[in-house]
Structures are given as C-alpha cells and as structure tokens.
Chain A
Amino acid sequence: MAGRQEFYWRRLHSLLGVIPVGLFLTQHLVVNNFATRGEESFNSAAHFMELLPFRYFLEIFIIFLPLLFHAIYGLYIAFTAKNNIGQYGYFRNWMFMLQRVSGVITLIFVAWHVWETRIAAAFGAAVNFQMMEAILSSPFMLWFYLIGVISTTFHFANGLWSFFVSWGITVTPRSQVISTYISIGVFIALSIVGVSAILAFV
C-alpha cells in the first residue's frame, strides 16, 4: 500500500470542494442576498446565522478545516501544473488554467474577507449591513469584492464539472458536454446571486 496517499488526498480535495465548501458558498451567497431586501432584512438574517446552535463547531468543521485543506492542497496542485494554452488553446485547457488562476484569486480574496469580517468579529466588531456598506464604499474594495466573488463562483462551477469527471460520474464526451452547460448555468446563477448582494450595499 506504499504511496497511496496522493490518490486519497486528491479525491478528498475534490470532494471537500463541493461538500461542504461549495454548499457553504451557495448558502452564504443566498443569505447575503437578503441585502437586496434592505438593511433590516440583511441584519436579521445575519443575526440568525450568528445565533445558530453549535456555531463554532459548524464553523470549524463545515467551513474552516475543509476550506483550509482545499486551499493548501489546491495551491500545491496549481503550482505543479505547467500551463500551455499558448500551444494548446482548447476550451478545456483554458478552463484548466482558469481553474488554477481563479483558485489563487479566490484564496487571496477569501483570506482578506475572513480577516476583515469573521476575525474582526472575533475581536469585537459587529458584522452587519453598515460594516459591508463601509467596506464597499471604497471603489477599490468594491472591485476587489466583485472580482473575488466572480472568481469564487467560477472556481466552484468549473470545479463541479471536474468533480463529476474525477469521481467517474460523467464518463462519455456527451455527458461531459452537458455537464459543461450545467456548470455554466451554475456559474451565471451564483454570480447573479452574489453580485446583486454586493451591489445592494453600494
């Protein structure tokens, strides 16, 4: 059984990207979307999430640990590739490159975002509508958030496509094409949910 770790680490990386990290992402963007219904709606939704029972347990095991593993192992994967879209400009090769680029952008964005909100909250800041309004009042941060969210939704949607291949669910070229369309749909839908929430703070 020597040298079997890599297979399981890769499969774990693929699984965690969807369950729970992808599911958490979807839930997070949907809850944020309360902002489009006004300040009070958002604050009560954020407050509800804050008061969930077993909050720290949920945060650690559903968000932080899976995300940390996915990020660190993902960086290793990203930097062992030698991208070659110059010579091989095929659609899937572009997606391969963008998956790695969006992963790194997402990691930078998420690290900053966690620092600015969750860690700030641990030091006593109140996470509410005003906080996000203040952050997004700077045009630089607005663009940073827009790019960060779109890169995250892309990474998740395209990662979902690879998840189906990596686990042997979509085998035939036809099923992989259809799953490409589905992943494009997921990307557009989640981007609308995420971006409209950001713009609600502006």
Chain B
Amino acid sequence: MSEKKTVRFIISRQDTPDSAPYQEEFELDYRPNMNVISALMEIRRNPVNAKGEATTPIAWDMNCLEEVCGACSMVINGRPRQSCSALIDQLEQPVRLEPMRTFPIVRDLQVDRSRMFDSLKRVKAWIPIDGTYDLGPGPRMPEKKRQWAYELSKCMTCGVCLEACPNVNSKSNFIGPQSLSQVRLFNAHPTGELNKGERLETIMGDGGLANCGNSQNCVQSCPKGIPLTTSIAALNRDTTFQSFKNFFGSDQV
C-alpha cells in the first residue's frame, strides 16, 4: 500500500460531571485487529488530536477486556456496547464514541453505574446463607434448571439495557431490566426462593416492574443475549399472583 491507512474517531468529551460536553477528533494509524480500547490506549500514549494539538488523554473505564465485566460500555456509532469487543474492522468510520448518558458522567466516556448496583441491593440479588449456626447444605438444583439459570446469571451489569430503554430516563425512576432479571434468577434458586415474596414486593414498589413499557429494546441490545423481556413477563405473572395473595390472603407467604 502506497498510502498509510488511518482510523478517524469523533469522541464526545466532558471535563467534569457538570461541564458542557464537546467533541474532539482523532486520527490514528491503522493496525490490524485494533479495537476501540486499543485505539483509546494509543490516544492515551500520545494525546494529540486530529488538528495536531496536544490534548488531555481520554478517560474511560475498562477491566476484563473480554466482555465479561461490563465496565467498558459506551455508545459506539450510536449503539451502546462494550468497547473491548468493538473491532475497528467492523465499524463504520469515523468511529463516534459517546458515554452512556443514561448514567451520570464522571469524565469523557466514563460513567457512574452505581444506580444498578444500588438496584441489586434493593432487590436483594443474592442467596442469603448466613446464620448464627451452620445451616447445612442447601437443596440441590436440578441440572436442567441450573443450565437455564446460568443464562440469566451472565448479566455483567454493563448498563446497555438501561441505555436502550425508552422508559429509563431523567423523567422516570424506573430501575430498568437489569435488576429485574436478577430477581427472576434469585427467585428461581431453591434457597433464594425463600425470599421470593420479599423480592417481588420490592419490585412492586415505585419505579419498579410496572414501569416497563414493552419496547423490548433491552432484549435486542443485551450483549449477553439474556432473555430480559421473558424475565419481565415472568415477573409480571409472579407479581400478579403476589398481589392476589396480598389482597385476598394466602398461607403461602
């Protein structure tokens, strides 16, 4: 090749959580098998923008680099996804990088995903096994059910489903699909089931399950292919029964 191949980036930047966002362009030499993170690392190594001006390195989150931790999610060419698995060869240029604005922005492409971890705490997304004495082994889980539950357990709290959801926004307090699907996961576990009613009661609270408007963008966008809308519909059924039990009474609490 006579001419050197380059990759162009248009990156949305923001210096502080409250300052106004602006765009900055970068041009990098093409290397085979580049991904968005390796490009961002390249800019960090030599922070010079497309005009040749020295600038600050771009801030972003990353951790596992193999699409299992969820930390490096950002909006790439208009779609939220993990930047570690976004290969430059498969992206249209210029590559546009933006933060997931559903979340509070810390700086540049870095967002604060705390609200999802708070939701997990609210719905008690764990199996309570602690006691003042040894509670002994829990009940066994059928293998078939374990395999089914494994699909739900793939959630990495990346935030893509919240970003894609039209009902998760500044005008609404909807907790989003991520934590709802975890309620289904932990309610399906033989020991987790002991707190089933409690979890259902929580998601029947304000900003909970009923705020879903069935746009089903979440299931289309989930990088892990988690059946989020099936989880929501299943929880709709569970909460229907729960509300009947609450009102008409039941011995199965």
Contact = CB atoms under 8 A, between A and B. Distances in A.
A174 to B, nearest CB: 10
B227 A77 contact: no
Contacts of A80: 167, 169, 171-172
Contacts of B131: none
B166 A82 contact: yes
A139 interface: no
B226 interface: no
Contact of A7 (B78, B208, B238): B208
B79 A87 contact: yes
Nearest to A162: B214
Contact of A171 (B207, B217, B237): B237
Contact of A96 (B166, B208, B211, B243): B166
Given A82-B171, A88-B217, A92-B215, A7 B210 contact: yes
Contact of A6 (B211, B232, B239, B243): B211
A11 B210 CA distance: 7
Nearest to A94: B215
Given A90-B217, A93-B217, A83 B237 contact: no
B210 A6 contact: yes
B220 interface: yes
B205 interface: yes
Contacts of A162: 213-214
Interface in B199-228: 204-211, 213-217, 220-221, 227
Given A84-B166, A88-B220, A169 B237 contact: yes
Contacts of A11: 210, 240, 243
A7 to B, nearest CB: 4
A186 interface: no
A83 B54 CA distance: 38
Q: Is the interface of A mostly helix, strand, loop or mixed?
A: helix
Interface string A65-103: 000000000000101111110011010110111010000
Given A81-B213, A82-B166, A167 B240 contact: yes
A168 B243 contact: no
Given A7-B210, A11-B243, A170 B205 contact: no
Contact of A173 (B164, B166, B210, B227): B227
A88 B164 contact: yes
A79 B172 CA distance: 10
B148 to A, nearest CB: 13
A165 interface: yes
Given A4-B205, A7-B208, A11-B210, A168 B229 contact: no
Contacts of B233: 165, 168, 170-172, 176
Nearest to B174: A80
B234 interface: yes
A90 B216 contact: yes
Contacts of A165: 214, 232-233, 236
B230 interface: yes
B206 A6 contact: yes
A46 to B, nearest CB: 37
Nearest to A79: B171
Given A10-B211, A166-B236, A171-B234, A3 B171 contact: no
Interface of A: 2-8, 10-11, 77, 79-84, 87-88, 90, 92-93, 95-97, 99, 161-162, 165-173, 176
Q: Which A-B residue pairs are the 5 nearest by beta carbons?
A: A168-B237, A96-B215, A10-B210, A168-B236, A92-B216
23 contacts: A4-B204, A6-B205, A6-B207, A6-B211, A7-B204, A11-B240, A81-B166, A81-B172, A82-B171, A84-B166, A88-B164, A88-B220, A93-B215, A95-B214, A96-B213, A96-B216, A166-B210, A166-B236, A167-B236, A168-B233, A168-B236, A172-B233, A176-B229
Given A7-B208, A169-B237, 17 more contacts: A4-B206, A6-B210, A7-B210, A11-B210, A80-B172, A81-B167, A90-B216, A92-B215, A93-B216, A95-B214, A96-B215, A162-B213, A166-B236, A167-B237, A168-B233, A171-B236, A176-B229
